[in-house]
């Protein structure tokens, strides 16, 4: 032991060199890391005998203003009965969800914390991103808080499906390691500005293989004020449920075109008021049941639609209160119907 102690004391200390790139990483971590929080959600499920089973989950979030608002993923807080937020210095606060948008997998929480503990992140412009740019992710993977991973922007304009089935567009792909617990944390550029909110990975092993996805910062900026003010995102509503009909199915149904076959019309909806018609019967094609007899939507505002995803994309670019022109095929005849959209009901 004395010899070992002598060796430890006598060994020369190696000089530590930090490259410019490493210094940039350290600066971003030290600065933007103060905006990142750890979120713990408490949920209750029930077993077969209706006995309550409490459980907890964790994720990340990022402070966006001095009022104590925090952006995270909707799936981080989904079903939570209690929410707890831990700041960069270890202090904890209870939180409440003030806004949710399952369609973009985003949510806004609020905490009551002293101003000196609230350091909002700086927003970047995700529309100017280039493949190959450096990307840095800060979060709490597997409960390991304040973790930094570094990579690049691998691709842009990806689409992914939210938990409610809607497509999220313009998603950022990165190879910066994102693991369970990173969800809701920031994806940053080399200036430490928020360019995305980490939301998902593609992996066959439940861990990072270098394919991660983030909701673009510009989407966050666009819907954040509405989430804070209203608690939800105001979306236009036509009031139909439909089925995508491709060319093959159209041929089997005796239709002249692919499109959206209206299965149901919600009573009192804009579609109902405009006179659109839903299906009158169901038919079986192979192992699939398809609604039949309703209007077939082939275009909206002059844009051809062949799937519900394309239809939803057009709806998302419209506004409640605006009018759209729906081109339909009914009984072999082509018609154009003008519809005034309304705000989508929340219930």
Among all residues, which ones are annotated catalytic?
A: 75, 105, 183
Cβ-contact 318, 340 below 8 angstroms: no
Dihedral of the alpha carbons of 32, 33, 35, 36, in degrees to the nearest 10:
130
The HSE-up count of residue 50 (CA atoms within 13 Å, CB side) is 0
Task: Supply φ then ψ for residue 26, to 5 degrees.
Answer: -65, -40
The answer to whether the beta carbons of residues 60 and 40 sit under 8 Å apart is no
The strand pairing partners of 36, in sequence order, are 62
Helix, strand, or coil (residue 59): strand
Task: Locate 46 and state its tokens.
Answer: 């029930």
How is residue 45 written in tokens?
């499920």
Query: Cα(33)–Cα(293) distance, rounded to whole angstroms?
Result: 57
Please name which of 241, 272, 239, 262 lies closest in space to residue 343, comparing C-alpha atoms: 239
Nearest to 157 by CA among 122, 126, 185: 126
Query: What separation in angstroms does the CA of 306 have from each of 112, 150, 260, 281?
Result: 48, 40, 6, 21
Please state, in angstroms and rounded to a whole number, the distance separating the CA atoms of residues 70 and 17: 36
H-helix segments, the chain: 2-10, 20-32, 74-77, 217-230, 247-253, 270-274, 308-316
Residues in Cβ contact with 142 at an 8 Å cutoff, skipping those fewer than 6 apart: 179, 180, 181
Q: Decide: 329 and 257 in contact? Cβ < 8 Å.
A: yes
């Amino acid at each position: 032991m004395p010899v070992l102690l002598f060796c430890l004391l006598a060994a020369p200390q190696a000089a530590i060199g930090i490259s410019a790139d490493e210094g940039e990483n350290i600066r971003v971590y030290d600065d933007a890391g103060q905006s990142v929080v750890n979120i713990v959600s408490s949920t209750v499920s029930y077993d077969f005998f209706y006995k309550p089973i409490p459980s907890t989950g964790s994720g990340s979030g990022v402070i966006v203003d001095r009022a104590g608002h925090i952006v995270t993923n909707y799936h981080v807080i989904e079903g939570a009965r209690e929410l707890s937020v831990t700041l960069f210095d270890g202090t904890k606060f209870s939180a409440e969800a003030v806004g949710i948008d399952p369609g973009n997998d985003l949510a806004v929480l609020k905490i009551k914390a002293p101003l000196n503990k609230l350091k909002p992140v700086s927003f970047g412009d995700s529309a100017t991103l280039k493949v190959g740019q450096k990307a840095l992710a800060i979060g709490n993977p597997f409960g390991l808080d304040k973790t930094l991973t570094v990579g690049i922007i691998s691709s842009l304009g990806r689409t992914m499906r939210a938990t409610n089935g809607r497509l999220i567009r313009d998603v950022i792909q990165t190879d910066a390691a994102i693991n369970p617990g990173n969800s809701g944390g920031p994806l940053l550029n080399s200036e430490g500005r928020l360019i995305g909110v980490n939301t998902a990975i593609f992996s066959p092993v439940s861990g990072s293989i270098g394919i991660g996805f983030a909701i673009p910062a510009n989407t966050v900026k666009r819907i954040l004020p509405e989430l804070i003010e209203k608690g939800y995102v105001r979306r236009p509503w036509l009031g139909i449920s439909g089925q995508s009909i491709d060319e093959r199915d159209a041929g089997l149904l005796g239709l002249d075109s692919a499109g959206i076959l209206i299965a149901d019309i919600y009573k009192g909806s804009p579609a109902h008021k405009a006179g659109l018609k839903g299906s009158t019967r169901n038919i079986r094609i192979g192992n699939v049941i398809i609604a039949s007899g309703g209007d077939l939507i082939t275009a909206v505002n002059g844009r051809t639609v062949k799937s519900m995803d394309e239809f939803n994309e057009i709806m998302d670019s419209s506004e409640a209160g605006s009018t759209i022109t729906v081109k339909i095929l009914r009984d072999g005849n082509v018609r154009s119907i003008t519809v005034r959209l309304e705000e989508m009901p929340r219930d």
